[in-house]
Structure 1
Amino acid sequence: MGGQRIAHVASKNPSVIKEIIYGITLGIGCGLLWKMHHWNNQRRTKEFYDLLEKGQISVVVEDE
């Protein structure tokens, strides 16, 4: 009888619903991290162009 119990535990199938939920959660989490990275790059670019427009920074090397 002990053999049947071990075989039953070993042959347990994965839950399809759990797999779908894990996949959706992982996808949303990675997508959110990628979007935050994109927003950070947009913010940096906007700050750069704002400083360039104000004249606080320059992309031209000054001659000495």
Structure 2
Amino acid sequence: MGAQKIAHVASKNPSVVKEIIYGISLGTACGLLWKMHHWNNQRRTKEFHDLLEKGQISVVVEDA
């Protein structure tokens, strides 16, 4: 009986509208995650440059 259910599911036609909605949703979610990653990198870079300008950090190694 299990083989009949599998064959029935495999022969069912895909819904084009559902596939489009799934694709748009997945693309939007991945795009948002990618954008958040870039916003985080931009924030860290800005903080680094602000600290350099204030003189709180330096990229030059001090001699001991």
- Consecutive aligned runs of 4 or more in structure 1 exceeding 6 Å deviation: none
Tell me how large the CA RMSD over aligned residues is: 1.2
Runs of 5+ unmatched residues, structure 1: 1-5
Find the counterpart in structure 2 of residue 43 from structure 1.
43
Which of 1 and 2 has greater Rg? 1
* Count of matched residue positions in the alignment of Structure 1 and Structure 2: 57
Q: TM-score of the superposition, structure 2-length normalised?
A: 0.83
Find the counterpart in structure 1 of residue 17 from structure 2.
17
SS at match of 1:14: coil
Runs of 5+ unmatched residues, structure 2: none
